[in-house]
Amino acid sequence: MAQKTSPGGSSKSWQGRLAADTDAATAAFVASLDVDRRLWRYDIVGSVAHAQMLSEVGVLTTGEFAEIRAGLLSVADDLEAGKLDMPLELEDIHMVVEKALIDRIGPVGGKLHTGRSRNDQVALDLRLWARDAADALRTGIVALQKALVGLAERSGQIVMPAYTHLQRAQPIVAGHAVLAYVEMLQRDAERLADARTRIDVCPLGSGAVAGTSLPLDRARTAELLGFPRFSRNSIDATSDRDFLAELCFCCALLGVHLSRWAEDWILYSTTEFALLELSDAYCTSSSMMPQKKNADTLELIRGKSAAGVAHLTGLLTLLKGLPLAYNRDLQDDKRFAFAAVDAMQASLAVAAGVAGTTKFRAESIAASLDKGFLDATSLAEYLTLKGVPFRQAHHVVGSLVAQAEREGRSLAELPLETLQAACDRVGPDVREHLGAAHVVRRYAPDGAGGADQLRKQLDFWKKALES
C-alpha cells in the first residue's frame, strides 16, 4: 500500500472538497517545484501588484496591503538567500510563497489570493518570465553579432572561396561570409522582438476560467506590471500558451542558425579547409592523440540546436489535444520552455567568445586560392559583356575549365591564344577578369561579395548594433 502524506498547512485550505490525503507517489507526481521554483521573483512581483490593485479598489485596506507587501518582500529575501523551506506537498512555487506569507503575517496573508486563481497567476508568471527571456536572448544575439562584425572588420578583406554544395564556387572577401551569419541572427532578434508583442499581455484578473464578481481593475494591474494591454477573454487567457510556443520556435530557429554557423567553422578550421584558426580557449585535445585540436565548443553548440527543435516539438505536442480551458498538462509547459531558452542562452554566450577570438588563416587561404576555378563565372560574364549569349559563354568557359584541368593550370595561366581560340571575342583585357583578386574587385551590385560592398555593410552594422 502506498504511504500517505498530508499536504499540511495552507495547501490543505484550498483542497476543502477533497477528504483523502494524497499518497506519496502522487504528491511527487503532481509537484512542479523542481521546475517552477525559478519563477519566484515573478510570483512575488505579480502578487505585490495584485495586492496593490486590490487596495486601490477597496477590497483590501491600505494597512492590509502594507502588511502583505512587507511580508512578500520578506519571503523574497529568504528565497534569494535560499533559506525558505519548500516542502513537496505544497506542489508549486505559488503555494510556497502563499504559505510562507501566511506563516509570517497571519490570516491577512490569506486575502492575497482574493480574485485570483493559480490559473491566471501562473499564466502571468510565465509571461513575465518569457518577456525577460526574449530580451535576454536578444541581448545575447547582439553580443554575438558585434563579435562577428569585429572579425569582419579585422580580417574581412582577405579573399577566400565561397561554397555551394560544399564545393568552391566564387571568390569573396572573408567579411562577406562572416556577415551572412549576422544577417541570420538579425532575423532571430527581430523575430523575438515581434514575439514579445504577443507575450506582453497581462492575463491577471481572468481567474480560473470566467473571471470574478469582484471589482478588479485589470488595466491598473497591467500598468503596475508594465504590460501595455490585458487579455480580452478569460478562457483564452488562462489556457493560452501560444506565446511560449512562439518563444520556443524562436529558440529552435536560432539554434538552427547557430548550428549552421558552427558546422561551417568546424569544417573551416580543419586541416583540409585551413581557412580559420580557433582559439585554444574554445577547443580541447584528445585523451589519446596529442596532436589533436578539436572544436568541441562548436560541436556542442551544433548539438544544442537539437534541444531547441525537440523542446518546440514537445510543447506543441503537449498543447495539441487540450480542451478549453486550463488543464494540468500545462504544468509541464515550463519544462520545455525553460530548457529551450537555457540552451540558447548558453550557446550564445560561448558563441560570442568563439567569434571574438577566431582568426582567418590568410597565408593558407592565399596558397590554395587558385584551386577550383573560382573565376570561371567571371570569365563567362566577361564574354557576356562582349556580346556572347550567356548560355554560349557558359559552354565556352566550361570547355576551357576542362582543358585547364587536363593541363594542370588555372584559367589565368592559360595563354591568351588558347582563350581566343575558344572565343574570338576575347581580348587582352580578359586578364582583368581572371584570378580571385580581380574578380572580387569587379563585383558590382549592392550585397555582393566584394570589398566595396563589405565597407558599406560594415558601416551599416556598426551603426545598427550600437543603436
Please report, rounded to a whole number, the percentage of residues in the chain having pLDDT higher than 70: 95
* Co-location of 348 and 200 in the same domain: yes
* Co-location of 240 and 321 in the same domain: yes
- Residue 60, pLDDT above cutoff 60: yes
Average pLDDT estimate for 73-92: 95
Q: Which residue has the higher pLDDT, 89 or 218?
A: 218
pLDDT tens-place string over residues 186-210: 999 999 999 999 999 999 999 999 9
Q: Which CATH number goes with the domain that contains 437?
A: 1.10.40.30
- The pLDDT-based confidence of 443 (bands split at 50, 70, 90) is very high
Query: In the predicted model, what is the mean pLDDT of the chain?
Result: 94
* Co-location of 136 and 278 in the same domain: yes
- From the list 6, 285, 286, 399, the catalytic residue is 286
* Co-location of 150 and 40 in the same domain: no
- Residue 387, pLDDT above cutoff 60: yes
Among 308, 329, 362, residue at a domain's last position:
362
pLDDT tens-place string over residues 100-156: 999 999 999 999 999 999 999 999 999 999 999 999 999 999 999 999 999 999 999
- Helix 451-466 × helix 118-155 angle, to 10°: 140
Nine cell digits for residue 319: 498543447
Structurally, the chain folds into a number of domains equal to: 3
* Co-location of 138 and 239 in the same domain: yes
Q: What is the pTM of this model?
A: 0.92
- The pLDDT-based confidence of 21 (bands split at 50, 70, 90) is low
- The pLDDT-based confidence of 19 (bands split at 50, 70, 90) is low
Is residue 13 in some structural domain? no
Place of cell 582577405: 158
Is residue 444 in some structural domain? yes
* Co-location of 54 and 146 in the same domain: no
* Co-location of 142 and 272 in the same domain: yes
Alpha-carbon span 188 to 182, nearest angstrom: 10
Average pLDDT estimate for 389-407: 97
Among 302, 331, 362, residue at a domain's last position:
362
- Residue 15, pLDDT above cutoff 60: no
271 SS3 class: coil
pLDDT tens-place string over residues 268-309: 999 999 999 999 999 988 888 888 899 999 999 999 999 999
Cα 42 to chain centroid, rounded: 22
How confident is the model at residue 24, as a pLDDT?
80
How confident is the model at residue 23, as a pLDDT?
75
176 is catalytic: no
Give me the helices (H) in 290-389, please: 296-319, 333-357, 362-367, 376-385
Amino acid at residue number 370: D
Any idea what DSSP says for residue 298?
Answer: H
- Helix 333-357 × helix 118-155 angle, to 10°: 10
- Residue 10, pLDDT above cutoff 70: no
- Residue 334, pLDDT above cutoff 80: yes
How confident is the model at residue 291, as a pLDDT?
84
Average pLDDT estimate for 231-258: 98
pLDDT tens-place string over residues 150-166: 999 999 999 999 999 99
Domain that holds residue 408: 376-466
How confident is the model at residue 199, as a pLDDT?
98
Nine cell digits for residue 134: 526574449
How confident is the model at residue 20, as a pLDDT?
60
- From the list 165, 213, 287, 467, the catalytic residue is 165
How confident is the model at residue 286, as a pLDDT?
83
Strand (E) or helix (H) holding 229: strand 229-230
Is residue 350 in some structural domain? yes
How confident is the model at residue 381, as a pLDDT?
97
113 is catalytic: no
* Co-location of 311 and 439 in the same domain: no
189 SS3 class: helix
- Residue 2, pLDDT above cutoff 60: no
